[in-house]
């Protein structure tokens, strides 16, 4: 009879405690695991002893914070508001950021204040921390609300190229009080300083603020000489190459207008009246005629007739009307007549080319000049730099300048002009970035206060004060 085999019988042949025995494979696996653990502990321990914390870093720091890359505790503090926190991970708090950076509030009516780290993401390498993602701004401005009163700005902005209002400067007419015609000044028929026809260019009148010291092509000669010296002195004090080149200097008479628009008032005088208040102009005219008649007493018998004369290349009317006058009976009467004629020319024609006047009642009342109200900064809530756009021709952005005839025209480029280039992101090749940070700042830096630093160099770098001794510096 054949022998029968059962599973129970077969099972007795195997050692049921085989998993408890130490085989060669299990021995080496255990040894390898222990070596890895010991090596990891030794590595972390060595970094702790050597005060290096790079092993715990989530990534490289930005350029601004690279100096304390080995001092994680500078930002990742364990004490918050005087209370020591417990845990392995210490997130960066606003207090840690504000110990180095003063950050004024954005708006007093904002519904919530984001943390510093939520906008300025660290451990992402070299990008500037100020380059904040647009989503951080649109989380509020896509549906803007305030904690009191009405919002002063557009309440639905989702992105520069998606939903963004036209620039505020273009929504209202120019508040300036000067009378100016860009089209006439940019034509080929402008009368120059010596009576010749000239073709003006934009940079003949518009210079960056850093170059406002001159010289100006059509400014006053004396101002140009003084400005050239001042410019040479100033150029040695500008430490940053772009300093003072963001905005254009405000146009003024001495720098931009006097070369072509000399305020001459009578054919007897070469010197023009000063570009000052009506009272100062009046005193200058009176004194000029008084000195003239004192030196030329025979002029009292002369009478004015209609006509014009050329003086320093400029046409100066000789009399206000064509009717002949009788000789003056005294020097004072002659002065009064000449002053009246000269001021009639100034107030009614020469000065009125640019200025607006109110004429009070009374024979001797001087006119009141309306405020010029020249705008110095067209975008007070945004940042713009002409220096960054210097490769562009002025008219390519200020497209309406050659056709503008009204003072009320605002020639700031429209948002569509900016959007023609600013349509990309850091990862979009061939397009200028269009993030909110390009033009706007979250912090209201007008509220900046005095700030005092509290850290020493060893605290930030982790360098021992002993290693900074002069006789150890070369080791």
pLDDT of residue 98: 87
Q: Cα(349)–Cα(456) distance, rounded to whole angstroms?
A: 67
Q: Cα(219)–Cα(210) distance, rounded to whole angstroms?
A: 17
Distances (CA, A) of 226 to 99, 214, 282: 46, 8, 27
pLDDT of residue 471: 52
Residue 98, SS3 per DSSP: helix
Q: Give the number of other CB atoms < 10 A from CB of residue 439.
A: 16
Q: Give the number of other CB atoms < 10 A from CB of residue 313.
A: 12
SS (HEC) of 177-218: CCCCCHHHHCCCCEECCCCCEECCCHHHHCCEHHHCCCCCCC
Per this entry, what is the length of the chain? 475
Q: Which residues contact 53 (CB under 8 A, 6 or more apart)?
A: 47, 70, 71, 72, 73
**Distance in Å from the first CA to the final CA of the chain:** 94
Tokens of 461: 């770098």
Question: Residue 59 carries which DSSP code?
Answer: S
pLDDT of residue 334: 93
pLDDT of residue 80: 64
- pLDDT in 10s for each residue of the chain, 475 residues: 556 677 666 666 666 666 667 778 888 888 888 888 888 887 766 666 555 555 666 788 888 888 887 778 788 877 666 666 655 567 788 888 888 888 888 888 888 889 998 898 888 877 788 889 999 999 999 999 998 878 888 999 999 998 999 999 999 999 998 999 999 999 887 888 877 888 889 998 999 988 887 778 877 655 444 444 444 444 556 567 888 889 999 998 988 898 888 899 998 999 999 999 999 999 999 999 999 999 999 888 887 765 544 444 455 555 445 556 788 889 999 999 999 999 999 998 999 999 999 998 877 789 999 999 999 899 988 999 999 999 999 999 999 999 999 999 999 999 999 999 998 876 666 688 899 999 998 998 888 888 888 888 888 877 655 555 555 444 4
ω into 215 cis (within 30 of 0): yes
pLDDT of residue 311: 45
- Contact at 8 Å (CB) between 227 and 214? yes
pTM of the full structure: 0.73
Determine the longest span between alpha carbons in the chain, in angstroms.
Answer: 170
Q: Give the number of other CB atoms < 10 A from CB of residue 223.
A: 20
- Contact at 8 Å (CB) between 341 and 304? yes
pLDDT of residue 458: 82
pLDDT of residue 54: 57
Listed in sequence order, the DSSP H helices in 50-165 are 94-98, 116-119, 134-141
């Amino acid at each position: 009879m054949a022998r029968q085999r059962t599973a129970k019988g077969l099972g007795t042949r195997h050692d049921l405690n085989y998993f408890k025995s130490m085989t060669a494979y299990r021995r080496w696996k255990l040894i390898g695991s222990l070596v890895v653990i010991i090596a990891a502990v030794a590595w972390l321990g060595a970094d702790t002893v050597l005060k290096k914390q790079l092993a715990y870093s989530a990534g490289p720091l930005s350029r601004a914070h690279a100096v304390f890359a080995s001092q994680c505790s500078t930002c990742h503090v364990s004490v918050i508001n005087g209370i020591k926190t417990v845990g392995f991970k210490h997130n960066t708090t606003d207090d840690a950021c504000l110990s180095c950076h003063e950050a004024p509030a954005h708006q007093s009516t904002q519904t919530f204040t984001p943390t510093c780290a939520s906008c300025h993401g660290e451990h992402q390498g070299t990008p500037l921390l100020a380059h904040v993602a647009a989503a951080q701004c649109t989380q509020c401005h896509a549906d803007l609300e305030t904690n009191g009163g009405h919002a002063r700005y557009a309440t639905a902005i989702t992105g520069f190229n998606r939903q963004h209002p036209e620039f505020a400067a273009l929504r209202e007419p120019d508040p300036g009080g000067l009378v100016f015609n860009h089209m006439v000044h940019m034509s080929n028929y402008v009368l120059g300083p010596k009576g010749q026809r000239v073709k003006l260019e934009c940079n003949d009148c518009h210079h960056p603020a850093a170059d406002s010291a001159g010289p100006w092509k059509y400014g006053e000669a004396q101002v140009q000489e003084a400005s050239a010296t001042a410019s040479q002195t100033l150029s040695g004090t500008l430490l940053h190459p772009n300093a003072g080149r963001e905005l254009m200097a405000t146009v003024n008479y001495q720098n931009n207008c006097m070369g072509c628009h000399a305020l001459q008032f009578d054919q007897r005088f070469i010197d023009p009246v000063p570009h000052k208040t009506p009272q100062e102009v009046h005193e200058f005219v009176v004194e000029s005629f008084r000195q003239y008649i004192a030196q030329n007493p025979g002029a009292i018998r002369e009478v004015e007739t209609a006509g014009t004369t050329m003086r320093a290349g400029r046409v100066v009317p000789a009399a206000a009307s064509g009717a002949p006058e009788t000789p003056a009976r005294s020097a004072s009467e002659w002065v009064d007549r000449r002053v009246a004629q000269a001021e009639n020319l100034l107030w009614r024609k020469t000065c009125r080319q640019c200025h607006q006047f109110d004429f009070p009642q009374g024979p001797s009342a001087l006119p009141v000049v309306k405020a010029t109200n020249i705008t110095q900064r067209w975008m007070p809530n945004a940042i713009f730099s002409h220096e960054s756009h210097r490769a562009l021709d002025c008219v390519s952005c200020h497209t309406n300048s050659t056709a503008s005839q009204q003072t009320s025209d605002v020639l700031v480029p429209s948002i569509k002009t900016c959007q023609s280039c600013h349509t990309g992101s850091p990862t979009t090749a061939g397009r200028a970035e269009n993030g909110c940070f390009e033009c706007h700042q979250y912090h209201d830096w007008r509220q900046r206060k005095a700030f005092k630093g509290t850290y020493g160099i060893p605290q930030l770098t982790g360098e021992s004060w002993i290693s900074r001794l002069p006789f150890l510096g070369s080791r």
